[in-house]
Structure 1
Amino acid sequence: MATAIGKPLYTDNFTASIERISYARILVETDVSQPLIDSIEIVTPSGTFQQPVEYEWRPSFCTDCMKFRHNVEKCWAK
């Protein structure tokens, strides 16, 4: 599932050893010039469902001027 978000780099010990199955923590490298996804569609034999994706941190990135530290709403280049 992490590959649907980006390039998986590291996972925590609980996730790697499958000790905590309520959630997984994975460090994923993403392209911030592209929108971050909010959910992943999972297909199972009993049907499909949307798995929400939570981020501990989202960078401020402006897709208009392609710079960090602000978003589109606060872009001074407009």
Structure 2
Amino acid sequence: MEQVMQDGPWLIRNNPLFLKQWSTNTELKKEELKKIPVWVKMHDVPLAAYTEDGLSLIASKVGTPKILDNETTKMSLDSWGRSGYARAIVELDADKELEDSVTVAIPNVEEGGYLKSNIRVEYEWKPPHCKTCNVFGHGTDECPTKVKEPADKRDHVKESVDDQGF
């Protein structure tokens, strides 16, 4: 049971499933999610940065790195068989924008100095994000705090604008 709780986040048909330990004191209410773990793929990672520490530093530009997937860990330790991307679970913060790419400086061993490298970030699932509440779980358009005008009031405003010749 503990293994199932720790191995998430789980995606079933591209829908996230969040598990929480149940007890008799558990309240059945929807929690506001300020942080959420998501699988990300980091594309075009330079060979010099394809280590556990290097990948962790890159992932920290996206969110809080939690764990690399097994294949990425194997490749970073063996230093061979590198795939086209590195995959990790990163905890996203609702207060921050999602990054589509990150720029890192890699030490240039041959010539000295640094080389800039642009790493493309792909999210396996992008959670709905409300910029009004700064939470995950619903979009800004569906925000429960957003005041909605009644339909008849909108029609009345439109009619009065039309009457004025606009």
Point out the more displaced range, 48-57 or 63-72. 63-72
Structure 1 unmatched runs, 5+: none
- For 1:24 and 1:62, locate their aligned partners in 2 and report how far apart those are by CA, in whole Å: 28
State how 1:1-78 maps to structure 2 within 5 Å.
1-18=58-75, 19-44=81-106, 45=108, 47-75=115-143, 77-78=146-147
SS at structure 2 position matched to 1:14: helix
Identify, as 1 or 2, the structure richer in helix.
2
Query: Between Structure 1 and Structure 2, how many residues are aligned?
Result: 78
Where structure 2 has 5 or more consecutive residues not aligned to the other structure, the ranges are 1-57, 76-80, 109-113, 148-166
CA RMSD of aligned residues (A): 2.1
User: Scaled by the length of structure 1, what TM-score is found?
Assistant: 0.77
Deviations 1:19-73 (A, max 9, x none): 4431111001120221111101133437423211000111112111334432224
- In the TM superposition, structure 1's runs of 4+ consecutive aligned residues that sit over 4 Å from their partners are none
- Give the SS at the match of 2:105: strand
Question: Which amino acid is the alignment partner of residue 33 of structure 1?
Answer: D
Q: TM-score, normalised by structure 2?
A: 0.41
Q: Percent identity?
A: 35
For the residues of structure 1 that align with 2:88 and 2:74, how far apart are their CA atoms? Answer: 13
Task: Tell which has more relative contact order, 1 or 2 (C-alpha 8 A, sep 6+).
Answer: 2
Are the equivalent residues in 2 in contact too, given 1:32–1:61 (CA < 8 A)? yes
1:14 and 1:54 map into 2 onto residues whose CA distance is 17
1:67–1:23 distance in 2 versus 1, CA, 3 Å: closer
CA contact under 8 A between 1:14 and 1:20: conserved in structure 2? no
